[in-house]
Structure 1
Amino acid sequence: MTDDAPEPGRDAPDHSQGPGVHHRHAVPEGGASRADRFLADVIGTMSRSRVKALMEAGCVLLDGTPLREPAQTLRAGSIVDLIEPPSAPARPAGEEIPLPILYEDRDLIVLDKPAGLVAHPAPGNETGTLVNALIAHCGDSLEGIGGERRPGIVHRLDKDTSGLMVVAKTPLAHQALSDAFAARDIDRAYLALAWGAITPTSGEFDGPIGRDPRDRKRMTVVKSGGKTALTRYRVLRISHAATSLIECRLATGRTHQIRVHLSQAGHPLLGDPVYLRRIPAAARALPEPARAAALDFPRQALHAARLGFVHPRTGKPLLFETAPPADFRTLESAISDGIGTDC
């Protein structure tokens, strides 16, 4: 054993890695059955679920290499480092981030969220979020509107999904909009580019959605234990029999719902980093350079294009529509190239 190795099974807190607490452990003789159980046991104050979350965030090293598999068996003599990040402030700080606001009044804001912007702070994205921008824009008036960590948020879009969102600025708006989303009393439509020629050209994807037991970062259609999910779709354009531009409407609002349903149907979204795991066979039908543009698209090709709801104070219906951002339009143009078929 080297001089700087900790005693087997003992915790050696170390702050040399910067803020937070650095735990270092040597695996004792006989090894350990699971990495997450070993760390939870030797630290003593941390649950296995917390250990798993820190593994997913890249905060655990095994002999200097990131350890992300909670069930991995540890060998005797291995060194495991867990760097516990400092606690985030209870209330996010305001940050001057440009907001593409389409409408604003005393009760709410409607904005066109750009791809790449996270809705609210979470592990790995504590700053630079929509909530940070909203606090800077609205000041203290947002305090207490829906909770300290996500003030004003009544729904969200995935980080790399672009499009329309509504944010509450008053308790009245937060309650009314939250109730409307829960009751599915919201007019929402998305535009998506999916692999393959989807048939029939209109219909429904119906399948309960739950956490994928093989990969906790993914959702999937499950046989039991999932939440009811229904997506209605309409194909707008098919290009080269390789891709489909579709409009999707949500009858429910589950995590990754459109992405999961399309992937399960064999038509994953172009660019989807989670649900597109291999080059689709349909890509062979695309001529170059359209094929390269489609395969290299860096995010899921999904845009929240339509949002309608009843104003919580006036009772008047409001409806907003936006075109997809430039990267989506450029991709669509490169694929269709005047050869697509309108449906």
Structure 2
Amino acid sequence: MENPDVLQEAEDQDLYEHLNIVVDKGQSLLRIDKFLMYRVNNASRNRIQNAIDAGNVLVNQKTVKPSYKVKPLDEISIVFPHPPRDTEVYPEDIPIEIIYEDNDLLVVNKAAGMVVHPGYANYTGTLVNALAYHFEQLPQLTGNEGRPGLVHRIDKDTSGLLLISKNEGTMTRLAKQFYDHTITRRYIALVWGDIAENGTVTGYIGRSAKNRIIMDIYDSEDKGKWSVTHYTVLERLGYVTLISCQLETGRTHQIRAHMKHIGHPLFSDANYGGDKIIKGTTFAKYKQFVQNCFEVMPRQALHAQVLGFMHPGVRQYMEFEAPLPADFAAVLDKWRKYTQ
């Protein structure tokens, strides 16, 4: 059986439904909103019009208005936020750190160890349970009963910023930004080894054939989805390096898999081999030092530090930054003292 913590962490792209339709040769002229109501399963007129208004519906690669009349052989592409699974979410009074909130959205600084969304073996205690409590006075969204709108996700043991939508219109517009890769997402990570220079990791990412709870990088598109991570060296600390990672795509475990792929797994990342000594000396004192670091931070050294997006309501770019959590800061301090 696959690890439930891994299974519940879907990649960002999986939160959205991508549809491509080629209009039949014999199609008569018909408004696109009505046409899509007939062609798209479980799509209300409101959902379709929100997608059109947000620019998520393209005809022959151009945005259209709801009144546009489809013609034979038109090529239509659509991006919808996926409706949530039909799973009841119980509100729970769980402390969460809200960085920003308005009528349309909020930004949360998620603690490490908190599962984002209810799933197998994790039906309570999740961020969504906490958000359901926070939102209990808000009106429910059609098709989204009891569940705030997740725009993206991060792994259970990754800390940092998450963007949450509070209505369908906002969610649809933010979905387009994620799909177009116009969201700013920077992570800070501590990795094994001395990284010589800044760089970029690319490749097709998919489930490992040997271990289904982790992801591997492949050179063939039939084995995975294209992924791009740009990394910048922030600080060299001897046997480990502090880096900043800029995501161009948002795949499951992307940074963790990419850094392992280039021989620099994240420090203390058990699933990707970073929870043992990879670089350093054989001295007992050094081994004890690293073990002490693992005890201070018994999870991957990865933090979603910066999140930037165009606010759909006020139409202004907004960017937020979350400080390093205590465990990450403590491990950094230990390595800095060790290398002095």
Q: Give the TM-score of the pair, scaled to structure 1.
A: 0.69
Aligned length: 255
Residue type of the alignment partner of 1:292: Q
1:118-267 mapped onto 2 (5 Å cutoff): 118-139=115-136, 141=138, 143-144=140-141, 147-148=144-145, 150-199=147-196, 201-224=197-220, 225=222, 226-240=224-238, 242-267=239-264
C-alpha displacement of 1:149: 7.5
Highest relative contact order (Cα 8 Å, sep 6+), 1 or 2? 2
CA distance in 2, matches of 1:142, 1:325: 33
Retained in 2: the 8 A contact 1:145–1:170? no
CA distance in 2, matches of 1:125, 1:290: 34
CA distance in 2, matches of 1:95, 1:136: 5
Flag the 1:170–1:208 CA change in 2: closer, same or farther, 3 A.
Answer: same
Paired position in structure 2 for 1:304: 304
Residue type of the alignment partner of 2:292: A
* Percentage of matched positions with identical amino acids: 40
CA distance in 1, matches of 2:325, 2:143: 29
Retained in 2: the 8 A contact 1:91–1:149? yes
Residue type of the alignment partner of 1:300: Q
C-alpha displacement of 1:327: 0.3
Find out whether 1:112 has 2:105 as its counterpart. no
Paired position in structure 1 for 2:322: 322
Deviates further, 286-295 or 204-213: 286-295
C-alpha displacement of 1:338: 7.0
CA distance in 2, matches of 1:287, 1:183: 46
C-alpha displacement of 1:195: 0.4
- Which consecutive segments of 4 or more residues in structure 1 shift more than 6 A? none
What 5-or-longer segments of structure 1 have no aligned partner? 1-51, 58-87
CA distance in 2, matches of 1:260, 1:106: 36
Paired position in structure 2 for 1:16: none
C-alpha displacement of 1:279: 2.6
CA distance in 2, matches of 1:274, 1:142: 40
> Greater CA radius of gyration, 1 or 2?
1
C-alpha displacement of 1:239: 0.9
- Cα deviation digits, residues 31-67 of structure 1 (max 9, x gap): xxxxxxxxxxxxxxxxxxxxx56xx56xxxxxxxxxx
C-alpha displacement of 1:157: 0.8
C-alpha displacement of 1:290: 3.6
What 5-or-longer segments of structure 2 have no aligned partner? 5-84
CA distance in 2, matches of 1:279, 1:321: 30
